[in-house]
């Protein structure tokens, strides 16, 4: 697949359990959205209009996590129909914020929320796409931003797999010369273990990072958790720092579980 092939690359955008926020990386492009439609054929993107769920495509983008058996079957079909499969956002890459239910008894939750629980056909767990099928590229972030998306598409148009961004938010803060909120304000900042890509938005806005881009490479989560304890955070508060947007990402999950008492 490259920019010079006669036929435009075909793409599809599929949605599973999510808030729709990552699809907005396409929809909020503004005028570049029209430019994008010159470069690729969008065959399926329900929110934007085109409908052809079973289309064979070059790139399938997937938003959302898997939480019903129908989802599993739909996903396998999408995998079968696409050359590259790219997950967009926290839900698709790690199960997302709704994976918090994986640590609870979902049956009880359903019983609590619904008068007639037996008709709710949801799996106990919310799981990432790569728990079920092969994923060619993961774009992390809650939500992903337009730069991530466009650079991935551009790379693929030129026939190369995009480079994975997995260094820590701290590195981005240093490059931007943002004052460290952990050093200067004792904020329980997750930057030291969180993947960059957002542009270090939170420290720049004067607050702690809350890890919406998921774990970075080689994270020292226990050292950070110990530091949080030094700040006076209670054990469960430390657990909740890790068990939030990416509670099912392995390193966060393990560290969170270590501190969780309730």
Partner 1 sequence: MTTSKTININVPVLARVEGEGALDLSIQDQQITDLKLRIYEPPRYFEKFLEGRNYYDVPDTVARICGICPVAYQMSASHAIESIFNVKPTPWIRSMRRLFYCGEWIQSHSLHIHLLAAPDYLGFDSVIDMSKQFGDEVRRGLKLQTLGNDMVSLMGARSVHPVGVKIGGFTKAPDQSSVDDLLQRVTNAKQDAIDLIRWLDSLELPDDEQDFVSVALQHSEEYPFNEGRIVSDAGLNIPIDEFEKHFKETQRDHSTALHCLLNEKPYLVGPLARLNLNAQQLPREIKELMRELKAQFPSKNMFHSIIARAIEIYFCILEAEQILTSYLPTEKPCMEFKFKAGTGYGCTEAPRGILWHRYDIDEQGCVTKAVIVPPTSQNQPRIEEDLKNSLIHFGLHKQKKALQLHAEKVIRNYDPCISCATHFLNLNLMRDGIDDSKPFETLFAPHFKNIKLNKTAIIGIGSPQENDQSGYLAIDFLERDKHICKLQKNGLTLIKLDRPGMMLAESLKDFNHVVLIDAIRPKPSNARFKWIDIQNIKNQTRWLSSHSIGVAESLEWIKSIENLPKDIALLGISNIEPVELTAILLQCLGLNNRHQNPS
How are the residues of the chain apportioned to helix, strand and coil, as percentages rounded to the nearest 5?
Answer: 45, 15, 40
Paired tokens of 227: 């530091």
Residues 56-85 contacting partner 1, CB under 8 A: 67-73, 76
Q: For 64, left (φ over 0), alpha (ψ -120 to 50), or beta?
A: left
Q: Does residue 31 belong to the site contacting partner 1 (CB under 8 A)?
A: yes
CB of 160 to partner 1, least distance (A): 27
Q: In this structure, how many other beta carbons lie within 10 angstroms of the beta carbon of residue 109?
A: 15
Q: Is 105 exposed, middle or buried (0-12, 13-18, 19+ CB in 10 A)?
A: exposed
Q: Does residue 237 belong to the site contacting partner 1 (CB under 8 A)?
A: yes
Nearer to partner 1, 70 or 217 (CB): 70
Q: Does residue 19 belong to the site contacting partner 1 (CB under 8 A)?
A: yes
Please pick, from the candidates 3, 5, 27, 163, the single residue that binds partner 1 as defined by CB under 8 A. Answer: 27
Q: Does residue 98 belong to the site contacting partner 1 (CB under 8 A)?
A: yes
Residues 175-234 contacting partner 1, CB under 8 A: 198, 201-202, 204-207, 210, 212
Please pick, from the candidates 37, 147, 176, 220, the single residue that binds partner 1 as defined by CB under 8 A. Answer: 37
CB of 200 to partner 1, least distance (A): 10
The H-or-E segment that residue 258 falls in is helix 250-259
In 3D, which of 148, 19, 23 has the Cα closest to residue 91? 19
Nearer to partner 1, 141 or 192 (CB): 141
């Amino acid at each position: 697949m490259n920019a010079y092939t006669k036929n435009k690359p075909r793409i599809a955008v599929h949605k599973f359990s999510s808030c729709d926020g990552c699809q907005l990386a396409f929809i909020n492009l503004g005028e570049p959205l029209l430019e994008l439609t010159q470069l690729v054929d969008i065959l399926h993107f329900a929110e934007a209009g085109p409908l052809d769920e079973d289309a064979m495509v070059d790139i399938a983008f997937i938003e959302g996590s898997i939480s019903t058996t129908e989802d599993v079957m739909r996903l396998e079909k999408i995998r079968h129909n696409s050359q590259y499969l790219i997950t967009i956002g926290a839900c698709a890459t790690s199960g997302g914020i709704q994976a918090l239910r994986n640590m609870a008894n979902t049956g009880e939750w359903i019983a609590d929320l619904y008068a007639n629980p037996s008709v709710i056909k949801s799996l106990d767990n919310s799981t990432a796409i790569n728990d079920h099928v092969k994923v060619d590229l993961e774009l992390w972030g809650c939500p992903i931003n337009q730069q991530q998306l466009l650079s991935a598409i551009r790379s693929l148009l030129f026939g190369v797999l995009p480079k994975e961004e997995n260094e820590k938010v701290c590195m981005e803060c240093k490059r931007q010369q943002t004052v460290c909120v952990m050093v200067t304000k004792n904020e329980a900042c997750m930057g030291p273990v969180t993947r960059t890509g957002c542009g270090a938005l939170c420290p720049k806005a004067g607050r702690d990072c809350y890890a919406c881009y998921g774990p970075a490479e080689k994270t020292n989560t226990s050292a950070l958790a110990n530091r949080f304890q030094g700040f006076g955070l209670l054990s469960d508060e430390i657990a909740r720092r890790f068990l939030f947007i990416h509670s099912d990402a392995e390193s966060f999950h393990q560290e969170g579980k270590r501190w969780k008492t309730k």
